[in-house]
Amino acid sequence: MTDAEVTRQFKQVTCTINGKKRTAIVDVRASLTDMLRDDYRLTSVKKGCEVGECGACTVLIDGEAFDSCIYLAIWADGKDIITLEGLEGPNGELSDIQQAFIDEAAIQCGFCSPGFILSAKEILDSGELYTDAELRKLLSGHLCRCTGYENILRAVKKTMYKRLGKQLPEVLIE
């Protein structure tokens, strides 16, 4: 047995993932990204920068968006975690924000889309009406190399107005 194998520590993590209670034994050094992808095959959680800069690994933890690459799996114990797979309706239907991303062509290569959609869900679930500047700031933790930011902003804004029952402004994006 090597020194690394001797010093490696594991802990049991029990959490709710996409509405299902789950338990895993994880290396105490493992990221939540690794646990979600490796133990549960939730591949919407993308491995991008792995340092919390790009937002590709964004998940909701107790309703708040986090970069799962810099969130240790052991910290998820007792938490409620939502990934993109968890937004699917009971009959496989898309959520309103997922449909808006499609309608507004906010999905280009798709790598950044799950993270953007989960951050958008957090924003939309607040029930607040945000300005374009506020939405841009709230979504600023994500990198899209396909330059789809305007379409993404339009999808989030249209969904926000629809959920709030408000009339869309004549000029959608300022």
List, as own/partner pairs, every contact residues 165-171 make where C-beta atoms lie below 8 angstroms and the sequence separation is at least 24, other chains included.
166/129
Element (H, E) at 66: strand 64-67
Query: Is the CB of residue 98 less than 8 Å from the CB of residue 110?
Result: no
pLDDT at 3 over 70: no
Q: Considering only CA atoms, which of 71, 77, 120, 75 is closest in space to residue 98?
A: 120
Q: Kindly report, residue by residue over 109-125, the tens digit of the pLDDT.
A: 889 999 999 999 999 99
Q: Rg of the Cα trace of the chain?
A: 17
Q: Kindly report, residue by residue over 40-91, the tens digit of the pLDDT.
A: 999 999 999 999 999 999 999 999 999 999 999 999 999 999 999 999 998 9
- Give the model's confidence band at 145: pLDDT under 50 very low, under 70 low, under 90 confident, else very high: confident
User: How many CB atoms sit inside 10 A of residue 123's CB?
Assistant: 20
3-state class of 64 per DSSP?
A: strand
